């Protein structure tokens, strides 16, 4: 695959505690299982792209002495030469997962907000026109990276989470692809006083959980239903969706087939606990797609 993706993305150690329900203010609850694994929206997306078959450069940061995290990233098959060694601690995410498989997440950004402009410059040296820069809202220097990417003729994709309408609005003229969930879409419409269909971004995808996803290409909607699966952990579902969707677009698949691939990948991811560990392989997704209905759901 000739196109290359550069991902300015977070790297976190996810610490998950399973609880019967979320605590009320001032309340102490007993958790019934705790675990730690690799995550971060950025790293999840890089891994999803990698497992979908796309060449990806992950631009991120961890603490300068955190050899364990770097080693684990490499064991997933990703290179770490574009990961900056920072003075701040590696990012952490504290995840509560309740019996209804809903999650609540608290982020401690740490090194994710210590990615230097000089490091971004160095990482984008090999970028070519038509390559992609993708971003989320868990790092610093997004605007700087977009400016440099545009100078190189790159395309820009944004996962609008954690959601900040100001960030999306300020980047909207530079975006080729925006992916956000339906709650974020409603907030963005209110903030910008327009509809998603009229936002002016060439390709927008609104994910809707059990209700599927709607793609807007130049304002024209295309909807796809979700796959009937029982969720176990939805933590990395949106990241997985984005990675497989972008890979499908770069591979030249039609919009409906790109949605099918992303949908199947996300459905597989929510059937496994954890973030990075839940992201399926391309082979797994292709097996699911064999049984996918041929008609579109528009």
Taking only Cα atoms into account, the Rg of the chain, rounded to an integer number of angstroms, comes to: 18
**pLDDT at 3 (0 to 100):** 53
Per DSSP, the residues of 169-226 read HHHGGG-SEEEEEHHHHHHHHHHHTS-GGGS--SEEEEE-GGG-EEEEETTEEEEEPP
Q: Where are the beta strands (DSSP E) in 109-174?
A: 132-135, 155-159
**pLDDT at 92 (0 to 100):** 95
DSSP type of residue 68 = H
Peptide bond preceding 162: is omega within 30 degrees of 0, i.e. cis? Answer: yes
**pLDDT at 294 (0 to 100):** 57
**pLDDT at 1 (0 to 100):** 45
**pLDDT tens digits for the chain (298 residues)?**
445 899 999 999 989 899 999 999 999 989 888 888 888 999 999 999 999 999 999 999 999 999 999 999 999 999 999 999 999 999 998 988 888 878 788 889 999 999 999 999 999 999 999 999 999 999 999 999 999 999 999 999 999 989 999 999 999 999 999 999 999 999 999 999 999 999 999 999 999 988 899 999 999 999 999 888 877 766 678 899 999 999 999 999 999 999 999 999 998 888 777 667 788 889 999 888 887 655 444 4
**pLDDT at 296 (0 to 100):** 47
Distance from the first to the final alpha carbon of the chain: 29
Q: Tell me if 60 sits within 8 A of 86, measured CB to CB.
A: no
Domains of the chain: 5-11+41-89+117-289 (3.40.1190.20)
Q: State whether residue 163 is helix, strand or coil.
A: coil
């Amino acid at each position: 695959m000739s196109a290359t993706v550069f991902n300015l993305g977070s790297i976190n150690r996810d610490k998950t505690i399973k609880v019967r329900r979320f605590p009320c203010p001032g309340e102490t609850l007993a958790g019934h299982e705790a675990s730690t694994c690799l995550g971060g929206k950025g790293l999840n997306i890089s891994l999803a792209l990698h497992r979908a078959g796309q060449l990806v450069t992950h631009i991120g940061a961890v603490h300068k002495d955190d050899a364990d995290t770097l080693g684990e990233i490499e064991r997933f098959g990703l290179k770490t030469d574009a990961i900056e060694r920072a003075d701040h601690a590696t990012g952490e995410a504290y995840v509560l997962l309740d019996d209804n498989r809903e999650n609540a997440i608290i982020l401690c950004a740490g090194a994710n907000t210590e990615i230097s402009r000089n490091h971004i410059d160095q990482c984008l040296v090999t970028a070519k026109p038509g390559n992609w820069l993708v971003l989320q809202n868990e790092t610093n220097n997004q605007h700087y990276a977009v400016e440099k990417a545009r100078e190189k003729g790159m395309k820009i994709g944004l996962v609008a989470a954690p959601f900040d309408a100001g960030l999306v609005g300020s980047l909207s003229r530079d975006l080729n692809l925006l992916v956000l969930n339906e709650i974020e879409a409603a907030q963005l419409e209110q903030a910008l006083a327009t509809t998603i269909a009229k936002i002016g971004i060439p390709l927008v995808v609104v994910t809707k959980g059990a209700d599927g996803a709607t793609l807007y290409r130049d304002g024209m909607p295309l909807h796809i239903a979700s796959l009937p699966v029982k969720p176990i952990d939805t933590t990395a579902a949106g990241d997985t969706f984005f990675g497989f969707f972008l890979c499908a677009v770069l591979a030249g698949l039609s919009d409906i087939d790109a949605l099918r691939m992303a949908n199947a990948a996300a459905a597989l991811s929510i059937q496994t606990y954890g973030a990075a560990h839940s992201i399926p392989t391309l082979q797994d997704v292709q097996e699911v797609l064999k049984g996918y209905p041929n008609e579109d759901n528009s």
